[in-house]
Amino acid sequence: MRGPLSKGHHVKGKHLFFGFFGLLAILSGGSIYLAMTTVPADRATVAVTAPDNKYKAVRLTLSRGGASPYCVDGIAVILGVYPNDFAERDKAYLVYSGPCAADRNAWPKIEWKSNTELTITYAKESAAQKSPAIKDVDVTKTVKVTFVQQ
């Protein structure tokens, strides 16, 4: 009679053990390869502070050239004391997100009209581009955002 620790069970456990660690090694190698060969996106940040410095609008541009190029602008309204990269970490603060205009440095334009009124002017998209996602009030429901398309 064979018990639970018979030779057959021991061999199956060994195969399972080495198979698991072999799979783990392959996945780790693949992750390292992807990290080393993937080109990271270029990031550019511009912050415009409200007149009272309580809030700021942060424009973050993510772009990449190469085989599959892309460019996206996002504008987040955050508290003035937050670091600019906070806008990238929490998407709930985004009030504008859309494809970059042909002139990346000029659009979208951010202008504070008062401490709680913000105007964002953005370029008209081409027929091939998606319309930007916009919110007319920030996450705190304090800053009113007006959008102008040119």
Q: What is the pLDDT of residues 20-37, one digit of tens each?
A: 777 777 877 766 765 555
Do 144 and 70 reside in the same domain of the chain?
A: yes
Do 49 and 123 reside in the same domain of the chain?
A: yes
Do 28 and 74 reside in the same domain of the chain?
A: no
Gyration radius (Cα) of the chain, Å: 25
In the prediction, which pLDDT does 120 show? 95
Do 90 and 128 reside in the same domain of the chain?
A: yes
In the prediction, which pLDDT does 141 show? 94
In the prediction, which pLDDT does 57 show? 96
Do 21 and 52 reside in the same domain of the chain?
A: no
Do 94 and 109 reside in the same domain of the chain?
A: yes
Give the domain range for residue 10.
Answer: 1-38
* Count of structural domains within the chain: 2
Do 29 and 67 reside in the same domain of the chain?
A: no
Q: Tell me the two tokens of residue 73.
A: 């602008």
pLDDT lower than 70: segments of the chain:
1-13, 30-31, 33-41, 66-68, 104-105, 125-129
In the prediction, which pLDDT does 4 show? 56
Give the three-class secondary structure for 122: strand
Q: Quick count: other Cβ atoms within 10 Å of Cβ 61?
A: 19
Q: How many whole angstroms separate alpha carbon 130 and alpha carbon 120? A: 17
In the prediction, which pLDDT does 35 show? 57
In the prediction, which pLDDT does 38 show? 56
Do 48 and 72 reside in the same domain of the chain?
A: yes
In the prediction, which pLDDT does 29 show? 72
In the prediction, which pLDDT does 129 show? 67
Do 103 and 31 reside in the same domain of the chain?
A: no
Do 65 and 6 reside in the same domain of the chain?
A: no
Do 7 and 25 reside in the same domain of the chain?
A: yes
In the prediction, which pLDDT does 5 show? 55
Do 28 and 51 reside in the same domain of the chain?
A: no
